[in-house]
Amino acid sequence: MNSKIILTGDRPTGKLHIGHYVGSLKNRIECQNSGKYDIIFIMIANAQALTDNFKSPEKVCESVIEVAKDYLAIGLDPKKCTMFVQSEIPELTELTFYYMNLVTLERLKRNPTVKQELAQKNFGTGLPVGFLCYPISQCADITAFEANIVPVGEDQLPMLEQTREIVRSFNAIYGDTLIEPTALLPSKTCMRLPGLDGKSKMSKSLGNCIYLADTPEEIKTKVFSMYTDPEHVHVADAGKIEGNMVFTYLDVFCTQEHLKRFLPEYSNLEDLKNHYKRGGLGDVTIKNLLAKILIDIISPISQKRLTITNEQVLDVLKKGNIIARQKASETLKKVKHAMKLDMFNN
Ligand code: TRP
């Protein structure tokens, strides 16, 4: 039977937040602890982060450490998964170069995630080629490790589609060499958590995040600044649930057990919503509930994070880099053999 190999990763552009947590990190922990997978690679994609942050190398460099700390704090275990840094694996760049032949400019420009990102950023002087090509480099990331399973948030589906196209095209031209991967999406309904302000996505650049490193006080302040229903002015007013970020978050994070512990007078979330809709339930009550839940989830992570040193992180990554590089170089050898680029090796 084929082994089950996972590869996934994040761009280091800041600390990770609860959007990452529900969108992908929780899923990774479950994968790691399920025992269902043979090998798990988790990559800090610093080279990819530079494609739209090439003028901020310090930020990307610092964020490598921050993200690795977040990984260890949420419970990713170096004994069970290989955490490594993209730029330490030069084989990925070489693979990217060969894959570039297999993708057209038109195809790259059609990628919906890239399109959305382009609309958000303003590359003043024009579109850098490196940014447009990152989906090709992502294909190198995935195929170099012969990953057949890629746990990601839904915004990464276009990258998986692009990867599959390159794999098929490569195998058709050069013979069966690369493995076609599938995405593994998170199970919970809310895969893309909106920001505190209700804007499309929780994102550092929009300043609407709760970080895994936030203290209980910070979490509380942020929750109390959240967008609810602007027409719900007095406690007695009838309130709206749709578009009310506090309820959007409660839908994602509030379990039956949380409700029992923090607001036992309601038997389920529906009861709470109905009360809010009828009127008589104030924003303070629902915000307090959400703050308590988020503190309950995040404080064990932020506490553990404080105990992790930079040396410890560097040590984990160095060991990971060695293992990852070994695997990527084996794949590169196969690729060069298939492409008849190995005439000087015997
Ligand atoms: N594009 C991903 C992100 O923005 C990061 C990433 C890079 C990745 N290479 C990958 C994810 C390979 C999965 C597989 O978060």
- Is the Cβ atom of 85 under 6 angstroms away from ligand 1? no
- Dist CA 222 CA 224 (whole Å): 5
Q: Looking at ligand 1, which residue's alpha carbon is closest to its atom 2?
A: 10
For residue 137, the ligand 1 atom closest to its alpha carbon is 9
Lowest mean pLDDT among 146-150, 153-157, 308-312: 153-157
Tokens of 240: 């709206």
- The answer, yes or no, to whether residue 206 has pLDDT greater than 90, is no
35 Rama class: left (phi>0) / alpha (psi -120 to 50) / beta: left
- The owner of tokens 């982060």 is 49
- The answer, yes or no, to whether residue 216 has pLDDT greater than 80, is yes
- Amino acid letter at 53? N
Q: Looking at ligand 1, which residue's alpha carbon is closest to its atom 9?
A: 138
- Amino acid letter at 109? K
CB 133 within 8 A of CB 96: yes
Q: Looking at ligand 1, which residue's alpha carbon is closest to its atom 5?
A: 10
- What's the chain's average pLDDT? 94
Q: Is 228 exposed, middle or buried (0-12, 13-18, 19+ CB in 10 A)?
A: buried
For residue 159, the ligand 1 atom closest to its alpha carbon is 1
- Dist CA 45 CA 141 (whole Å): 9
Residues 6+ apart with CB under 8 A from 241: 247, 273, 276, 277
User: Residue 267 has what DSSP assignment?
Assistant: S
Q: Is 89 exposed, middle or buried (0-12, 13-18, 19+ CB in 10 A)?
A: buried
Q: What value does the mean pLDDT take over residues 101-109?
A: 97
Tokens of 332: 């590169």
Tokens of 101: 């032949």
Ligand 1 geometric centre to CA of 284 (Å): 38
- Is the Cβ atom of 141 under 6 angstroms away from ligand 1? yes
Ligand 1 geometric centre to CA of 86 (Å): 10
User: Residue 17 has what DSSP assignment?
Assistant: B
Q: Which residues of 298-324 are buried (b: 16+ CB within 10 A; e: fewer)?
A: beebbeebeebeeeebeebbeebbeeb
For residue 141, the ligand 1 atom closest to its alpha carbon is 12
- Dist CA 175 CA 150 (whole Å): 23
The Cα-based distances of 260 to 92, 256, 289, 346 in angstroms read: 50, 6, 11, 67
Ligand 1 geometric centre to CA of 48 (Å): 8
- Dist CA 267 CA 259 (whole Å): 8
Ligand 1 geometric centre to CA of 8 (Å): 6
pLDDT-based confidence at residue 345 (cuts at 50, 70, 90): confident
Residue to substitute in 138, 182, 202 for testing ligand 1 pocket (most ligand atoms within 8 angstroms of CB): 138
Residue bearing the bigger pLDDT, 295 or 23: 295
Q: Looking at ligand 1, which residue's alpha carbon is closest to its atom 15?
A: 10
Using a cut of 0.85, tell me whether the model's pTM lies above it. Answer: yes
User: Residue 156 has what DSSP assignment?
Assistant: G
Q: What value does the mean pLDDT take over residues 34-57?
A: 96
- Is the Cβ atom of 139 under 6 angstroms away from ligand 1? no
Residue to substitute in 42, 43, 81 for testing ligand 1 pocket (most ligand atoms within 8 angstroms of CB): 43
> Treating both helix axes as pointing N-terminal to C-terminal, what angle do 310-338 and 134-144 enclose, rounded to 10 degrees?
90
Backbone angles phi, psi at 281, to 5 degrees: -120, 120
Residue to substitute in 51, 156, 161, 163 for testing ligand 1 pocket (most ligand atoms within 8 angstroms of CB): 156
Tokens of 226: 């959240």
Ligand 1 geometric centre to CA of 176 (Å): 25
- Dist CA 138 CA 334 (whole Å): 18
- Is the Cβ atom of 11 under 6 angstroms away from ligand 1? yes
Q: Looking at ligand 1, which residue's alpha carbon is closest to its atom 13?
A: 8
Residue 83 C-alpha from the chain's centroid: 14
Backbone angles phi, psi at 14, to 5 degrees: 155, -175
Beta-sheet strand order (sheet of 39-44): 82-85, 39-44, 5-10, 149-151, 182-184
Ligand 1 geometric centre to CA of 134 (Å): 9
For residue 48, the ligand 1 atom closest to its alpha carbon is 7
- Is the Cβ atom of 150 under 6 angstroms away from ligand 1? yes
- Dist CA 42 CA 8 (whole Å): 5
Ligand 1 geometric centre to CA of 109 (Å): 18
pLDDT digits (tens, 9 = 90+) for 290-334: 999 999 999 999 999 999 999 999 999 999 999 999 999 999 999
- The answer, yes or no, to whether residue 23 has pLDDT greater than 90, is no
Portion of the chain with pLDDT greater than 70, in percent: 98
